[in-house]
Amino acid sequence: MPRLIIGAMVRTIGAYPSGWRYPGAHRDPRGDAAVLRRTAEVAEQAGLDYLFFGDWLATGHDLEYRDPYLVARIDPLSAITFLAGITRRIGLIATANTTYSDPYALARATASIDVLSGGRAGLNLVTGAEARAAGNFGLDFHAANDARYDRAVEFDQVLRRLWDSFEDDAIVADAEGGVYLDPDKLHPTDFHGEHLSVTGPLNAVRPVQGHLPIVHAGTSPRSLLFAAQYADLALVAVSGREQASAIREDLRALAFEAGRDDRTLKVIAPVLPIVGETREHAQQIADRLSELIQVAEDWPDAPPAAFPANRSLAHLAGVVGVDLTGLTPDRAITADLVAGFTPLGQELVEIVTERTGRLIGGERPPTLRHLVAAASVSASMVVGSAAEIAAEFAAWADAEAVDGFNVLSATQPAQFEAFATGVVPELRRLGVFPEVDDEASDAAAGRDLTLRERLGLARPENVHVAARAGDFHTGVFQA
């Protein structure tokens, strides 16, 4: 059975919209340092491959209800720099937006972090798609958005050229001979494109990994193409195993067409497991999270102006095809009501039953609030005991639907620790995840593995050396 890549997508106040309201949950970003430290400690002990930090370059009142973890958060590069000094083995992946970032500054920062961490840094490249973020950087949103992937392609190429400014042995450091640098092995970037122009060379040595592993997330055709051409990890949200298998096949076909070895592209799916001591316990947790979801009808007059439109009974009525006027969010769902639901509405009822254990006609039937939660929160959830969740992961691995998972935690720290200490050992028992010491270090070299090595990726050749040799497919894939 294939070895799964397992990383954790860190959201310090929880990934589920109501997670911060759950009893015992961390909820104040001013205390994030302690949560990050504890998360890294637990993740490294569990042997996870990496910690992943997303980003969002704006804030607003609407995020309080839609995605509270985005309201205020630590800068990703700052987070992985902080954690690099207090961890030893785990990979650390930060997000940067190619629409607004400066490639020279980002290349310098990431190369530095890779050197300081011993080759454990990774970079998630995203593109701008939010008007407020454009305004924060003094750009016209529509103009920036139209060209965002064209700029991203140039950005990737510039990063690689900058990272490769120094050849690995460019620093001679011959004290006796008085020779510090071999000038023939220091290369200018000399990139002048439609969106970017960088001369270089970079004033930082080549990263330990050569190039940091590149991650890209998205499901649009242009996003999938970018991932296939340039990324090492393609982060793709999927609704199920069949869709995952199809997207993985499509991505690898695109990678092959781009001149890559398609096996070097790893497809990773985000997943939000709700882990309990038993399935019933996990369902109780999921049930409580649903009950804590606010809907528009909770306000007697009207919800706040920024409240999400899809978090309402009015929106739900359109989904299920039944007039819900006059009903309250906590109205129990009856068989008579469900009889008039659309197929999608009936599917929502099945999802709620699977996640919460609530049965129509039972002692605790599902409510309209549960349906709103299921319809409006798009996270791919798996609810069950540690063994049940591990078995589901293993089934995806056996079907070769994905190469790994980016695990979100509904609440911090309880749900993350339940996954790390409960599910991960079960994954090892099933043979889809290695023992902590099996892949933690290269004993022959006397060092810990780099992130690229943990992900099964070769160290790329220097692009300037490859260009000199006429091998233009090494390191940089042409669009």
Q: Name the pLDDT band for 98 (thresholds 50, 70, 90).
A: very high
472 has a pLDDT exceeding 80: no
Question: What is the tens place of the pLDDT at every residue in 155-210?
Answer: 999 999 999 999 999 999 999 999 999 999 999 999 999 999 999 999 999 999 99
Within 10 A of 448 (CB to CB), how many other CB atoms are there? Answer: 18
Element (H, E) at 319: helix 313-320
319 has a pLDDT exceeding 50: yes
Which superfamily, per CATH, for 5-276+380-465? Luciferase-like domain (3.20.20.30)
174 known ligand binder: no
336 known ligand binder: no
pLDDT value at position 468? 85
Which residue in 207, 197, 199 sits closest to 167, CA to CA? 207
Question: What is the tens place of the pLDDT at every residue in 326-348?
Answer: 999 999 999 999 999 999 999 99
Question: What is the tens place of the pLDDT at every residue in 342-382?
Answer: 999 999 999 999 999 999 999 999 999 999 999 998 879 99
pLDDT value at position 478? 40
Picking from 103-117, 142-156, 342-356, 398-412, which range would have the lowest pLDDT averaged per residue? Answer: 142-156
Which residue in 185, 195, 190, 96 sits closest to 143, CA to CA? 195
Q: What percent of the chain has pLDDT over 70?
A: 96
Q: Name the pLDDT band for 440 (thresholds 50, 70, 90).
A: low
pLDDT value at position 92? 98
Report the b/e string of 242-260 with b at 16+ CB within 10 A. eebbebbeebbebbeebeb
61 has a pLDDT exceeding 70: yes
Which residue in 432, 429, 422 sits closest to 389, CA to CA? 422
Tokens at 177, concatenated:
């001979």
51 has a pLDDT exceeding 70: yes
309 has a pLDDT exceeding 80: yes
450 known ligand binder: no
φ and ψ at residue 433, rounded to 5 degrees: -145, 135
Which residue in 221, 207, 212, 255 sits closest to 473, CA to CA? 255
pTM, two decimals, is: 0.95
Domain residue spans of the chain = 5-276+380-465, 294-376
pLDDT value at position 443? 55
Cβ burial, residue 146 (10 Å; 0-12/13-18/19+): exposed
pLDDT value at position 447? 83
Tokens at 87, concatenated:
């961890």
Alpha-carbon distance of 177 to 200, in angstroms, equals 28
Mean pLDDT of the chain: 94
Question: What is the tens place of the pLDDT at every residue in 225-248?
Answer: 999 999 999 999 998 999 999 999
Cβ burial, residue 239 (10 Å; 0-12/13-18/19+): exposed
Q: Name the pLDDT band for 265 (thresholds 50, 70, 90).
A: very high
Within 10 A of 444 (CB to CB), how many other CB atoms are there? Answer: 6
479 has a pLDDT exceeding 60: no
164 known ligand binder: no
pLDDT value at position 357? 97
Alpha-carbon distance of 345 to 316, in angstroms, equals 9
Strand partners, 367: 332
The angle subtended at Cα 143 by Cα 193 and Cα 124, nearest 5°, is: 65
